[in-house]
Amino acid sequence: MEILSQNRCFGGVQTVVRHRSDVCRCSMTLGVFMPPQAEERPVPALWFLSGLTCTHENAMTKAGLQAHAARHGLALIFPDTSPRGEGVADDDAYDLGQGAGFYVNATQAPWRGHYQMYDYVVKELPALLESEFALNGVHGITGHSMGGHGAITIALRNPDRYRSLSAFAPIVNPTRSDWGRKQLSAYLGDDEAQWAAHDASLLLEEAGWKGDILIDQGAADQFLDLLRPEAMAEALARTRQPSVLRLQPGYDHSYFFVASFGEDHVRWHAERLASA
């Protein structure tokens, strides 16, 4: 791994690294925050998956999570949202291609050569980071918008890998949203049966979750119709899933919203990862 930058941060260290991804077949950049406790012992990791148009940098610099993670002794992992670089397929639209990987393994041309973000986040990157940083193998996952979609679907499909789960304004019903149908069709093809494995509301009813889930959603979010929080509320109720789903009055879709409730989410994960 090539270190691009390192900065002292709340007693820990915020590092940005680049490495060659075998599954995405390109160089990938990510942020890793190690809290001060990691100087004495391996620590749990909280993954933050970002949304459409973002890189690793958005949440790393705007969400304000490092102070809370340092207090609780959690590492923070900020992956990119897609493969990038020369030869990587892209689209003129902001919501497809580079910056919009949707955390799936693409099976359709021209995306399948590089867009293997599910395997990258779930398999390749954890193994790499655990060999390079003082991580203890205990993981939680959260994310914002498209990243919230990724966090919930990845956790529900891998309950043995993740011990805690939360999301900020997640896309929870992509099979019924323009933030989903377009991308799932492009990456996975037109067989909608293949899309269900990447729909949080459908997955919850099929598989459930072993613990509890925290979801914060801004009531003034300009993208509410695309996020479809009502679908998740209905799924949580039907499955009687232990959860906290909060509709926060006046908050929009921005990182100001994420930063406002970031402390709650870090504490949520810290309590569950500490007892793992």
* Residues tagged active-site: 145, 221, 253
- Rounded distance between C-alpha atoms, residue 105 and residue 120, angstroms: 9
The answer to whether the Cα torsion of 235, 239, 241, 247 is positive or negative is positive
SS (H, E, C) 76-137: EEECCCCCCCCCCCCCCCCCCECCECCCCECCCCCCCCCCEHHHHHHHHHHHHHHHHCCEEE
Contact 148, 49 (CB under 8 A): yes
Bridge partners (DSSP) listed for residue 168? 144, 216
